[in-house]
Amino acid sequence: MALSKNMLKPTGFEREETPLNPSEYEKALEKYHPEDTIISRLETAVNSFNSNRKMHQDTRAIFEKLVSFGGFRAKGQFQGGMNKKQMKREGMSKEEIELASAHYCLLEDVTNSYWKEAEEGQKPSWIVDFEALAKAFLSSQFLHHFQWYDPKQLATATMVLRNFYNYLIVHPVCPEYKQQILAASAICDVAEQELPKLAVVGHSLPGAFNSACSTVFGGAYADVHLDKAARNSWAQGADNVGLSRHEATIIFKAGVAAHSTPEQYAKIAALHSDLGDAKCISTENMGLEITAVELPDADVEETYEFLRKREGFHEYVHTMGKLICKRWKVPFEQPVDLPDHLMKAKADMNQRFEFLVEAETLAYCVPGMKMVTVVKELDVGIKWIDCVESMHPTFYTWLLNEQNWDWKEPGPPTEWMQRAMAKRMGLAEVEIELPVFHRMSLPRLLSPTIRRATTLTAHLHPRTLHPVRTMASLPTKMKGVIIEKTGGTEVLQYKTDLPVPSPGDGQVLVKNDYVGVNFIDTYFRTGLYPAPKYPYILGREAEGTVVKAGSGELYGLKEGDKVLMLSEGTYAEYTAANAVKAVKVKDGLEAKVGAAALLQGLTALTLIREAHPVKKGDWVLVHAAAGGTGLWLVQLLKAVGANIIGTASTQEKVDLARKAGAEHMINYSHEDVKSKVMELTKDAGCIAVFDGVGKTTFDLSLDCLARKGSMVSFGNASGAVPPVTIGRLSAKNARLMRPTLFNYIATREEFEHYVDELMDFITEDKLDARIHETYALSDVARAHNDLEGRKTTGKLLLDPSK
């Protein structure tokens, strides 16, 4: 690419800021007077730095992302149509030109937070923390939005940050924060040393031994292998062609020979030669922090050298050492409600884990690096990393600033919003003034101890009611997310030129406003569930507007109708949906709520209506009452007047479920569930038990059941329920069910009935649909990472317009 003369001029990034002479220092003190507020000084400094640096595309991108992450936004520049040269010719001083051309201003939230603290003594929702912001930016935003593994891109990022921090120190912008600024600059040094190593580790893990275990014992890599014909016909050089079972078996046996304990070796030697009789006994999504590495010693090296001399081993055997890890609490990991022994294991943050990893990879591992993984264990006592979902540097920091990206200031309430609110509150329309904020606000879901940082650090606004969108003429191309093969989030392809589908017989074309993100979407992405074809658009539920009607039976749907739907292919701006599984949005239902409630809400509702029809006064037991489905069940059971007994493992979860409506909660970490149930029901037991835990609670559930009661097993959080002898049910004439949602809503009448009932519950304020975050469709990979990494506490939505 040719360089223009302007691009060859000095940029201001070529050298460090030189100390100011006395005259310059006096001017700087006047510009950044110590008695001025910190927000005023920082705003001036950001604009002055921007004005005095000639930024090219790459440096501009880094600086803008840094300051916007730290509480600033770009603003309109009021220059009267003049550029800087013209302003200079008009006699304007350098300071006046700088002020007129100021590009950035602080967010209103930041200034409000500052003045509320200064004048009213309120606790600030933004704080100044240069070090925290540098850590968060270089360990999160930089990794998400830039090619951080490119040495040139990394050098550019650290150069921009260092240059900015040096400007703040040389000019007396905020001397009271000098130590923080120096610490922030030091983080750039750490990033330059560590991120290239993180790139190698992230590319190399889980490594040959762990991939071999995954291949042989039914993990994430079990069906990845491509044979030679497939490789030659369509696989590309960068594709992961996996291991054959033969290759994986050899790698596994070599690792066992070199590293297993005598007890492990004896157990494995007793297995069949193809290892088919070994069993995986546990699977856990887990955050891990590297604490140490153990390189292979002389005995291990000798073992590998011996194995390499055996025929057929040399091309597969790699010398392994040990990666030593402990548990790492993933920020905002979704809470789980597990049996006591599993919760105790998760609570032991110093539990030691050892994994076999190539010695070449261990050389790049730095103690303190973190990763989100799936860890599996064999019945012979060997654990392995089945897959690595994300890698993080030692200085990884999560700030609430991450949540501020998709916030937009709400517009005025529309007429239908005012009518809905008036109806809900029993007031005439003229008496109601609609509150701006959504009643299910996000801040209550977040830890109050987490602070935002900035060059400034913010109060998370609640989400707002979304204005009604109007239809436009239909385009021929649309945005969407497709997969062309299975794998991690790297296979998610955001496209802007997908063809807009045409509705067929019995279909309507829907312009999607909000799309629900569910675990089933990740199953199709990873290949756990086979996609019907490729390329394949993900997604199963959405809320939007009918923009074109097809032929045939449309169940009264027409252009302009706002609808909720269960349909494939919703990760897109437009979806051709089967009208049989689409319904009009009920009056008074707030935007986003339908998309957030449809799948999960229908599951809970059909359980209490069909699996066991619950009546007012019934005693009902709900296991994992503070879990996702558990909270929906508790709210619905409360609405129908049942006597609810819930179980949970911690006091925090007990309180959460009780707040949702479970008046009788049992903390099974120290209370006997059966005794408490019998005490509350006067030894009668519960007429229905809703059990989503599975294996570990099944027997207990039967013990707590009343005569002629219903045992409803709908989940396997702790593992699948073993085969049951049917004669066990005769002791109480009990009913046993294992229901699924879609068998309850197979017909149009069933679907319409349950959607109507669910929406009635919500609009009458009996159910609370929790929305965690609305992501841009282009940010779908982050949504999947957050969901699979258990960083969420509520429903995840996608906005296809972004």
d(CA 231, CA 313): 22
Over the stretch 29-48, which tens digit does the pLDDT of each residue have?
A: 888 998 899 998 999 999 88
72: its two tokens: 């600033």
pLDDT at 643 over 90: yes
Quote the pLDDT of residue 62: 92
Residue 541 CA from chain centroid, whole number: 18
**Can the peptide bond before residue 412 be classed as cis, meaning omega within 30 degrees of 0?**
no
Q: Mean pLDDT throughout 1-22?
A: 59
Residue 134 CA from chain centroid, whole number: 22
Question: Which phi and psi angles does 62 have, rounded to 5°?
Answer: -65, -50
pLDDT at 741 over 90: no
Answer whether 248's CB lies under 8 Å from 278's CB: no
Q: Mean pLDDT throughout 113-138?
A: 86
189 contact partners, CB below 8 Å, separation of at least 6: 158
Over the stretch 674-687, which tens digit does the pLDDT of each residue have?
A: 999 999 999 999 99
Residue ranges of domains in the chain: 11-202, 205-232+240-392, 407-450, 477-585, 599-743
pLDDT at 20 over 50: yes
Q: Mean pLDDT throughout 534-550?
A: 92
Strands 507-517, 477-483: pairing kind = unpaired
Quote the pLDDT of residue 687: 96
Over the stretch 452-504, which tens digit does the pLDDT of each residue have?
A: 454 444 333 332 333 333 334 588 899 999 999 988 899 999 999 999 999 99
d(CA 775, CA 649): 31
Over the stretch 271-297, which tens digit does the pLDDT of each residue have?
A: 777 687 788 888 998 999 999 999 999
Over the stretch 166-210, which tens digit does the pLDDT of each residue have?
A: 999 999 899 999 999 999 999 999 999 999 999 999 999 999 999
3-class SS of residue 275: coil
Multiple choice CATH, 477-585, 1.10.10.10, 2.60.40.10, 3.90.180.10, 3.50.50.60: 3.90.180.10
Q: Mean pLDDT throughout 627-655?
A: 88
323: its two tokens: 């990666």
Confidence of residue 147 (pLDDT cuts 50, 70, 90): confident
Any idea which residue has 């990394």 for tokens? 154
Dihedral, CA of residue 198, residue 200, residue 201 and residue 203, to nearest 10? 120
3-class SS of residue 669: coil
d(CA 290, CA 283): 20
Check residue 398 and report its DSSP letter: -
**Can the peptide bond before residue 535 be classed as cis, meaning omega within 30 degrees of 0?**
yes
Q: Mean pLDDT throughout 552-571?
A: 91
Superfamily (CATH H level) for 599-743: NAD(P)-binding Rossmann-like Domain (3.40.50.720)
* Position with higher pLDDT, 88 vs 442: 88
Question: Which phi and psi angles does 190 have, rounded to 5°?
Answer: -65, -45
The rounded mean pLDDT for the chain is: 81
Quote the pLDDT of residue 415: 62
| Burial letters 755-789, b for 16+ CB under 10 A, else e | beebbebbbeeebbbbbbbbbbbbbbbbbbbbbbb
Task: Give the DSSP per-residue string, 45-100.
Answer: HHHHHHHTS---HHHHHHHHHHHHHTTEEE-----TT--HHHHHHTT--HHHHHHH
Quote the pLDDT of residue 790: 54
Quote the pLDDT of residue 332: 63
